[in-house]
Amino acid sequence: MKKIQLTNLLADTFSSSKIINLLIFILFAILMTAVLSARYYLFQSIINEDGTSKKDIVASKTIRVVDTFKTEQNKKEIAQKVEPILTPAEDTYIKNNYATLVKAIEQVRAKNSSYAQKKEEMSLLFDFEGNYYKDYILNYLINAGDERLHSTFKKAQKTLTNVLNQGVTEKDFEKNNLTSMILRHTHFETSKGEIRIISALLEQVIVPNMVFDETATELAKKNAINSVAPTVVKFEKGDKILFAGEPVTRVKKDALQKMGYNVLELNFQAIAGIFALVLFGMVTLMYYLLFYEKQFVTRNYFSVMGLLSILIAALAAVLPSGASFYFLPFPALAVLISIFTNPRVSVCMTTILITLVALVEQMPIQPSAVFIIVCIIAAISTSKVRYSRRFDLVKIGGEIGFSMLFAILVVYFIENSITPIGSSLIWKNALIGTCNGLLSGIIVLGIIPLFESMFKIVTPYGLAELADNNQTLLKRLQFEAPGTFAHSLMVANLCETAAEAIGADPVLARVGALYHDIGKLKRPLFFVENQTYFGIENPHTKLNPRLSKMVITAHPKDGIDLAKEYGLPPIVQNFIVQHHGDSVASYFYNQAKMEEGAEKVTEEQFRYTGPRPNMKETAILMIADSVESASRTLKEHSQEELDNMINKIIQTKLNDGQLSDSPLTLKDLKTIAAAMSKNLRAAHHQRIKYHENIIQELEEKAMKKKFVAPDRINTEEEEKIEKKIQKRLQKIENETENNTENNENKPDEKDS
């Protein structure tokens, strides 16, 4: 029994949607990795496993490539030839040693001892190994006069200073050329005997005073390396770059790359790195969507973003080696994602994708930076598009093209100040980038309908098409249920106004309102708004309340069936099924209580099947639907009457919990009520009453004044009065004719 339960538990776990989503997530990462890595496998078509060429390859044009191996070898040889740079160190201790030696010699000379004893003590101060002039030096230091000896000491000190200023290195000791250095720096008038004495003195105290300067030496090596010219290998047109079976060296690979071959190679470690990078990018995007754009966390939206990512990666993978990266249509991707989701998601996704492609396909930083900046501009521009006019997308292409041109030139100007670049390359890439931007709008226009059909996602362009009254369903509603159609038009106006007032999607709200009652097409004569038009008796008078309730509350379900039949997108279907929520069909509920008794009837028996509105737009529709219907029952449409009616309806919906699943706030509801009241006041405006017999009344009054008495004779004063009356009558008649003519030509505001 436990085994069966465990098996069932495992089956439920592995069949759950979370596991399926995880598997899809990993499969997409693998597919994306394979697509991005594809160009690294193309080189294998001409290379054997042992690294030799499969066939002869002939140069189709003159090619010059740098032999990096030989160039590096030359640089190393030049660097090795640079001598270490030495700098003088502190040499005070050498001079102090010399002074100590001189003082010691003087002390030995001053002793009252025999010559032999002085000679022995003096010899201890020197290292005479290999010196053939030992006796001469000792005899000179012991017996020479003080004046002569002091002169020799001064000459030795001066020579010491000269030697130390030149610098003494370790090599001077290794080569045993210290004596020659002393000789070179001794004054030319010095006798040979003194020179021997000076050499003996200085050889005892001089040590190397030059130390190795690592910084200066490295700088010298770098200067030497930079002076080495690259070793260039030239292949003339018709020369064989590779023979069959020849090993493919670095130089040959570079030549093949200039011929258009892809010479990149990839090992398992690099593939694992690309896979990890793709996963990191996907997780980053997923976190952003989960925290800030939850409405787009669906398979349909992921499918759109995934397919577009794979297409861009595939284009980057098959882009010929050496071709400009400005061919990649990243701006078109930014516009598409902005239309299918919103500009924020577009900026996030395109930035991640550009980073992935740049790192894997070795795209330089210049086009990467340009694409990121331009994609941000494209997303912002798309947010300002009027979706009723498709030509606006072409205008966006113009803006993107100009942005690409400006960004590319600025980047190249900066780069050119550091490293000179050919002007032909600059203008070539600028032209490619500009054309890429200009074509973005046209590419998007062609792809939108295809993706809408494939993934059942409605864009603002699709909504604008659905709002056309020539759509099949709306045409049917207009002719088969004209009352419902008129009601839907009025509700659509209310929804659009209210949605715009609170920052919801006005186009979506309008389209949803136009289609919300299409379920009434199945039984149009059972709805009161159509009965007056067709001049029939209300069929509900012959039905009991429960049966009438079933007929009325079935129209959301009937509407869903029609919506699926005619291919309405799921988001529009939400308006059809949610616009009544699970509210009570109050008319038939009250009728049933009167006929059957209140104790035998419950509200649950007369409720719609729901669900309740879960979007701002569907919640607005629920309110607008009730408000429009109730407004037709009002005798007066003053502001006070309309405000009271709308507030009462909203309060009823709140008390019944119909708005509990929607994201509307109390502030939103207040704004919605004000917008709908204003709209209804405009729709139910009053007109001025015109008196058709006003001219006749004025003529009668004039005749009464003219014929006061039958025997009275007209005087001059009476003639003046008569002329004034006639003039006044003529003026009124002209004004009346003009008003009548204007009213005939002026369309009815209600109809418009």
Phi, psi of 86, deg, nearest 5: -110, 145
Orientation of helix 146-166 relative to helix 92-110, angle to 10°: 160
pLDDT of residue 752: 26
Could you tell me if residue 659 is inside a domain?
yes
Q: How far apart are CA 44 and CA 47, in angstroms?
A: 5
Say whether both 404 and 529 belong to one domain. no
Say whether both 404 and 493 belong to one domain. no
pLDDT of residue 23: 87
Could you tell me if residue 9 is inside a domain?
no
Say whether both 394 and 502 belong to one domain. no
Say whether both 313 and 396 belong to one domain. yes
Could you tell me if residue 238 is inside a domain?
no
Say whether both 508 and 568 belong to one domain. yes
Say whether both 344 and 453 belong to one domain. yes
659, 683, 707 — which closes off a domain?
A: 683
Residues 443-478 pLDDT 10s:
998 898 899 888 888 888 888 889 888 999 999 999
Say whether both 419 and 512 belong to one domain. no
pLDDT of residue 244: 79
Could you tell me if residue 328 is inside a domain?
yes
Compute the C-alpha angle 50/52/55, nearest 5°. Answer: 135
Coil, strand or helix: which one is 58? strand
Say whether both 441 and 478 belong to one domain. no
457, 485, 506 — which closes off a domain?
A: 457
Say whether both 308 and 445 belong to one domain. yes
Could you tell me if residue 442 is inside a domain?
yes
**Domain region containing 531:** 472-683
Q: How far apart are CA 159 and CA 178, in angstroms?
A: 12
Could you tell me if residue 37 is inside a domain?
no
425, 457, 489 — which closes off a domain?
A: 457
Residue 645's nearest CA partner among 664, 626, 658 is: 626
Element (H, E) at 258: helix 250-258
Residue 736 exposure: Cα atoms within 13 Å on the Cβ side? 14
Say whether both 532 and 442 belong to one domain. no
Task: Answer yes or no: are the C-beta atoms of 232 and 67 closer than 8 Å.
Answer: yes
The domain tally of the chain equals: 4
Q: Which two tokens stand for residue 245?
A: 């079976």
Could you tell me if residue 27 is inside a domain?
no
Q: What is the CATH number of the domain that holds 505?
A: 1.10.3210
Q: State pTM to two decimals.
A: 0.62
Could you tell me if residue 41 is inside a domain?
no
Say whether both 186 and 294 belong to one domain. no
Residues 353-410 pLDDT 10s:
999 999 988 888 989 999 999 999 999 998 887 766 777 888 899 999 999 999 999 9
The whole-number mean pLDDT for each consecutive block of 10 residues of the chain, a chain of 752 residues, reads: 48 61 89 86 62 74 79 81 70 77 82 81 76 78 81 81 73 63 66 76 74 74 80 81 78 73 68 92 94 89 94 88 86 94 94 94 89 94 77 87 92 76 80 92 89 85 87 93 93 95 92 95 89 83 88 93 91 94 90 87 89 94 94 85 93 94 94 93 67 56 51 51 60 54 41 30
Contacts 24+ apart (CB under 8 A), 200-204: 200/126, 200/128, 200/131, 200/133, 200/137, 201/98, 201/101, 201/102, 201/153, 201/156, 202/98, 202/156, 202/159, 202/160, 202/163, 203/127, 203/178, 203/179, 204/97, 204/101, 204/125, 204/126, 204/127
Say whether both 562 and 673 belong to one domain. yes
